[in-house]
Amino acid sequence: MIKILLVDDHELVRGGLRLILETVPEFTVVAEAKSGEEALRFCRKEAPDVVLMDINMPGIGGLEATKQIVRLSENTRVICLSMHTENPIPAKVMQIGAYGFVTKDAVPAEMIRAVHKVAAGQKYVSPEIAQLIAIGQLDMNNNNPFELLSDRELEITLMLVQGRRVPEIASSLNISAKTVNTYRYRLFDKLNINTDVELTHLALRYKLILSEVN
């Protein structure tokens, strides 16, 4: 039996994933979590085989939660879920130790295939995403400025563009507000911007976040 933890801040998304996964006899959804913090607490107690982890959530977020789960247990493997298909998100996800990356619009068969492979100790990335990662690594003219950011800088970027304030980010990541601001000004310098508004516009331009208006 493959024990699965679902992590997403939207109940409808978790419900949809549960419906898909519970069609497979050897899958059992042992719990649901709506934040990275809840996911960590459950992983410490129960050590699920596979965690399906949304990247953009309140609190510490999916990237930091994934890093901590990877450090916590080598037997719990994380598949990150996101609507973001452009680098640097997929590449960063794999670099921090996730076993898989699947887009949220994947068909049920692909989601099931990803869980099977990851539970068996194999890496899984959606084919089209794997191709984009490979092309991005080969493309010497890749000019996505977010590629310049460290894991922590990218993590704080995602929080800032979600409208999170510095004290809230500091509390979520268990670091000081001064440290958050240090990262903030460092990433501003790398991206050649000066304000959070400019950061949001840049994130929209490079599809680090998605506009609500199509």
Domain boundaries, the chain: 2-137, 145-205
> Is the per-residue pLDDT at 214 higher than 60?
no
Helical H segments across the chain, by residue range? 11-21, 36-46, 61-72, 89-95, 108-119, 127-138, 151-161, 166-173, 177-191, 196-205
Label residue 59 by pLDDT band (50, 70, 90). Answer: confident
pTM of the model: 0.77
Percent of the chain at pLDDT > 70 equals: 90
- Alpha-carbon 15 to chain mean position: 19
Kindly report, residue by residue over 98-138, the tens digit of the pLDDT.
999 998 888 999 999 999 999 999 999 887 777 666 645 54
Position 89 scores a pLDDT of 78
- So what's the architecture of 2-137 in CATH? 3-Layer(aba) Sandwich (3.40)
> Is the per-residue pLDDT at 54 higher than 70?
yes
All residues at 6 or more sequence positions from 161 whose CB lies less than 8 Å from its CB, including other chains: 196, 199, 200, 203, 208, 209
Kindly report, residue by residue over 153-189, the tens digit of the pLDDT.
888 898 898 888 999 888 878 889 999 999 999 999 9
- Alpha-carbon 29 to chain mean position: 20
Position 137 scores a pLDDT of 52
CATH 1.10.10.10 assigned to 145-205: yes
Label residue 213 by pLDDT band (50, 70, 90). Answer: very low
Rounded distance between C-alpha atoms, residue 80 and residue 120, angstroms: 17
> Is the per-residue pLDDT at 14 higher than 60?
yes
75 or 86, greater pLDDT: 75
Report how far apart, in Å, the C-alpha atoms of 145 and of each of 184, 192, 204, 206 are: 15, 9, 12, 9
DSSP state of 30: E
The answer to whether the 2-137 and 145-205 domains have the same CATH topology is: no
Percent of the chain at pLDDT > 90 equals: 50
